[in-house]
Amino acid sequence: MEKNKAFKQVILSHFIKNVKDELPPNFEDNDSFKYYIDFIQTIQNREVRYKRGVLLKRLNKCFSIGGIKAEYYTNNKGGFIQIEKNKDTFKIRIENKKFQIEKWSHKTEKKIISYFDLDTDLEKIKRNVLSLKNWR
């Protein structure tokens, strides 16, 4: 199922890019293209969400291999990973093209701990999160 999603995403993204390359200059200014522009944006948003989900699932697997109970939650922005230890909750999500690590207290107070570039080694992110709290 996951491979099927990836295949569809690649095909749609490639199709949109090719069609967009063939459109006349300044087509965005034409009201006739309004629905097409919305369609393009929808496909591009899906691609971003899909890629976020893939990265977060890989990071979640990295935590589970290390014996840390982490849960991946999906949402319309690509999801997040949640790790709970005692009264602390840590969430890792992708915001503004970076991994964002958050510490939540009392389920409502959010504090952003750190950011990592998306090409950062996942083990480095894991080590950073583990250093925030005594996990074992």
Q: What is the pLDDT of residues 91-124, one digit of tens each?
A: 999 988 899 999 888 777 888 889 999 999 999 9
β-sheet bridge partners, residue 134:
none
For position 135, what pLDDT does the model report?
Answer: 55
Q: What is the pLDDT of residues 2-37, one digit of tens each?
A: 566 666 777 777 887 887 788 777 777 777 777 887
**Helix-helix angle 34-65:2-22, to 10 degrees:** 150
Count other Cβ atoms within 10 Å, centred on residue 22: 8
For position 15, what pLDDT does the model report?
Answer: 81
List the domain boundaries for the chain. 2-131
For position 20, what pLDDT does the model report?
Answer: 77
Q: 54-63: long-range contacts at Cβ-Cβ below 8 A with a sequence spacing of 24 or more?
A: 54/6, 55/94, 55/118, 56/80, 56/81, 56/92, 56/93, 56/94, 58/122, 59/92, 59/99, 59/122, 59/125, 59/126, 62/122, 62/123, 62/125, 62/126, 63/126, 63/129
> How far is C-alpha 113 from the geometric centre of its chain's CA atoms?
18
β-sheet bridge partners, residue 83:
70, 90
80 pLDDT band, cuts 50/70/90, is: very high
For position 32, what pLDDT does the model report?
Answer: 76
β-sheet bridge partners, residue 71:
82
Distances from the Cα of 65 to the Cα of 70, 98, 128, angstroms: 10, 23, 16
Cα–Cα distance measured from residue 24 to residue 33, given in angstroms and rounded to the nearest whole number:
11
In the block, residue with structure tokens 């083990």: 123
